[in-house]
Amino acid sequence: MQLYTDAATEPTTDHSAAGLLLINAGQQQQFKQILPDCDNHTAEFLAAIAGFKEILTQFGPAQTVFFYTDSKIVAESVSKGYSKNFNVELQTLLQLQDQCTVAITQWIPESQNRGAHELAQQGLHLTP
């Protein structure tokens, strides 16, 4: 299964939203949700967390997940297993990934993450 996540943050208000694109057995599911007000880096971690929670809720832990993010800080933090500024979010994400049979994280350029990006932008317009 493939998971694409992205976050959008309104810079003046820190209003944030997540876009999740999940592809499983050729079926695509799209999700957008409001996140707590935060900076964009935190929102990127929260979007990834939301994506893995969605997978575990819908499909259970016995999954092989290819996780794609255009956030270098998320991808690098997962790779290193360390983040100085986002350690709480990283540890939550790693615990969720550990519940999957295999979780492979890969950074992709924003141009290859348009689906999740558009969903995150739409999420900014949801009302809480």
Of 3.30.70.580, 2.70.98.10, 3.40.50.970, 3.30.420.10, which CATH number belongs to 2-123?
3.30.420.10
Average pLDDT across the chain, whole number: 96
Provide the residue ranges of all domains of the chain, joining segments of one domain with +. 2-123
CA 77 to CA 27: how far, in whole Å?
Answer: 29
Written as one letter, the residue type at 78 is: V
The reported pLDDT for the residue numbered 127 is: 72
CA 21 to CA 112: how far, in whole Å?
Answer: 12
- Residue 87 pLDDT exceeds 70: yes
Q: What mean pLDDT comes out for the span 42-63? A: 96
CA 38 to CA 89: how far, in whole Å?
Answer: 12
- Contact predicate 5/117, CB 8 Å: no
